[in-house]
Structure 1
Amino acid sequence: MVHGRRERVAKCPHCATPHPYTEVKFTAVNDKGWWGLDCCSCSKRFVIQVMNPDESGAAYHIAERHDGAYEGDPAILATAIVQHNLKMNEVRHRFDYGAKPLYVCGEVGENLEQAARAALLAAAGDIQAAYGSAITHCLASNRVPEYEHVVAHVDVPCTCGAGHRATFYAKFAWDGEPQPVDEFLLADVSGADLPETLDGLFSKDEAMSFLHKLAIRWHLTVDRILVTVPFVGHQYLKAAQKLNAWQAVLSLLDPRKSAFVTRSASFTSYKKVLEEVDGLDHRLLAEYGLENKLVAANLRKQDFHAKFYAGMSDTGCEVFSGSANLLKGPSLENMSFRAQSMASFKVKYLDRLGVALPEVEPRCAYFALIRQSEDGRWTCLQQQGSRIAA
C-alpha cells in the first residue's frame, strides 16, 4: 500500500538543469534503486537514485529503471536534490456565486449565475453519468485526442422568456476520477451583456471579483491571458498582505497561457515578501525550477500607469480595463469592458505597450461536450472549435 508520494527535484550533474520527479513510498517494504535518463536540456545521460524505481515516476522519459544500489560512475550521479511540497504555479479557481454577478440578462437585468448553477445541479446525475461514460471510452481507446477540458451546456430559464445557455467546464479527468459536477466552473451564459455589466464605478472588491470570473472564463475560451499593471497592492500594506495580494492573482493564472507585465520594483517587492513571510529565497527556487513562472518571465515595463486585463485569441479579444490595481478594498474604481479584433488590440494595446510576449503552445483543438439532445438524453461527444458555441 502506498504510504505517500514525495515531490523531488534533481539537478543534472552536467548542466544543472532541474528535473522534477515523484518518489513513491510504501507502508511496508521499500526498494532502493536508480534511474538512468537523458537530460531534458543537454541530452547527456545521468543517474538519479530513487526509492521504488518502478513505481516512482516523472513527466519525462526514463531510459533505465534498476533495483539495488547504483555502483557506476559517480560523476554522472545527481547529488543536488531537494524535496518540497511547494505549488508555486498551481491554478486555483473557484467561481464565487455570492459576489456581484458578471452574467446578467441583457433584457431584464436578472442574475443568471444562480439560475445557471441551479440548472447544473438539477442535471448533475445525468451529466455525471455522461461524463463517466466518456472517460471510460477515452481511457479504453487510443484514437481520441487528449482533451484538456470537458464542457457542459445547460439551459437556463429567465423571466425574459427567451432563455439562456450556460457553459460550464472542468479539466478532463484522464486519471479516471471525474470531478463532481458542482465543481465545474461557469465560463459563459448566452444573452449576458458583459460590456453593460462591466461599465461603471465599482469597489476594488467588486473589480477583483469580476477579474477572477473573467480569468475563469478566459482559461477556457482564449489562447492567452495578459495582465498588465504597474503595482500589486500598495506600499502601505504589511508584508503578509502584499504576499496575499500577489498570491491571489498568481493562483488565477496558468503560466502556460498567461503573461504578467509590471514594473521591476513590483517583481522585486514580491521576491522580498516571499522570503520575509514564507522564508523562500526566489533565487534558490529558480535554481530548482520551483519558482513562479510568471514572475520568472520577468516581463517588465517602467514607464506606464495603465491597468488592463485581456483574453486574447486570433478570433478576437476581450479587454477589462480601468483604474483598479490588483488589490481588494472598498474604495471606488472606474472600469469598462469591450470585445475587439486581435488586429485592433495589437495596434491599440500591444504595440503601444512595447513588451515582447513569450510564445505559448496552441490550445487543444478538441474538447468533450456534454449536452442534452432533443429526445432528452444527455450525451458526451467530441467537439472541435469554440467552447462557447452552443
Structure 2
Amino acid sequence: MSTNRERTDTASPGETVARWADSLSPVEAEEVELSEAVGRVLAVPLVADRDSPPLDVSAMDGYAVRWEDLQNRPAVLPVIGEARIGQPPLELAPHSAIRIVTGAPVPKGADTVLRREWVREHGTHIEVPAELGVSRGQDIRFQGENISAGQTVVPEGTLVTAPILGACAGFGHSRVRVFRRVRVALLVTGNELVAVDDTVQPWQLHDSNSWSLRGLLSMVPFLELRLLQHIPDDLDQMVAALTGALDQVDLVLMTGGVSMGDTDFVRPALEKIGATIVFHKLPIRPGKPLLGAMCHDRPVMGLPGNPVSVLVTACRFAGMVLRRLGGISRWQPRPTLVEVNDPEVSNPTLWLYRPVRLVEQAVAEFLPTRGSGDLVSAARSDGFVEIPPNTVGTGLRHYFPWSLL
C-alpha cells in the first residue's frame, strides 16, 4: 500500500523540494586515480601533506640579503652565488648578496629580497642606493603562509575543479576519494512520442525530452545515465519499468504522465508498488504537475511532459536532488541576480519561470514564448528567471542557466 505524505504547508516550491533533498543521503564513496577525479565530488577533505610554501622562497627576481647589512646605505655587497629553483637553499655570508630568481629557496641567513630594478648591478657586486626604502622580509613568501601541513585545503563535498585537481597533485595525492557517480534512470512516457530518426506523423512528436535531459546529465561528470527507456501510456508497463529501474539506479527521472488525465499513469504506478508521494503539484508555471516520491528507498521525480516544463523543472528542482545525492555540500541553488524589465509578466498565485537572454552583465531580456511547449523559445535563451507570486517581471530576479549544477 502506498503512503501519502504530500506537503500541505505554505513553503515555496524551492523550499519544498529542498527539504526533501535534505532528507536524502549521498551515494557511497570510492577511490579513483587523479586523472579521473575532475568533475567528481570529494568524499573526504583535501588535506595539505606539508606546508605551502614548503620553505621560504623568493617572490621576485633579485638579490637575497641580510636586512641588517642594509642599514648603512649606500651599501656595496659582493655577489657570492645564485639561488635557483629546484635546488636546496644556499648559505649567505654576512655583508654579501646572492642572486635569486622567483620561486627559488631563500638562502640560509637571508631575510630580505631586493628586486633587480632597485639596485645597480656591477657583475661581481651590487650597489644599494641610499634612498631605497626596504623592510625586513621584503618579497619573501614565507614557509606555510598559504597553508600549514595538516590543514584542510577544501572540505568534503567540493566539486573537483581544475585548481583543486592541481592542489591534489601539489599535495601529493595521486589517488582521491570521491563519491561514486550517481546512477540515473530516465523513463520517458507518452504514446505520441517517436524516436528522433523515425518518420513522424502529424499527430506524433519526436522525443525531444530524453535528448534535453541527456544533454543536461552529460554536462555533469558525477552523473551516469544508467538506463533510458520509452514507456507507452500503459499502467502495467509503467509498473514493470519502474520496478526494473529502481533495482539499478539511485534516482528515477520520469517525463510525462503526471497530470490528471485518463492516461496519466505515473502516480498510479508509483502507488501500486508502494511509493510514498512526497509532493505532487506545486504552484509553478510551467511544471505545475511536478511529482516527488520515495520508493524502495530511492527518490523518483515525475517531470511534466511538455518540453519547456521538463527543462525548467529539471534545472530548478531535480538538480537539487541530484547534487544532494552526488555529495555536493552546497547542493542548494545559488542563482545569479539579473535585472529584467517587463511589468506584464506576473501571476497572483504561481511562481513563474520565463526564458531570458543575457544582453549584458547582470541584465536579461524576456524572450517571446508560446508556453510550456515552445522549445524554440528555450533554445534561443540562455536560461530562465524566477518570478514569485504577486510580483512582476521588473527589477532584480533570480536567474538559472540551463544546467543541473
Q: TM-score, normalised by structure 2?
A: 0.26
The structure where strand makes up a greater share of residues is 2
Structure whose residues are more often helix by fraction: 1
Higher alpha-carbon Rg: 2
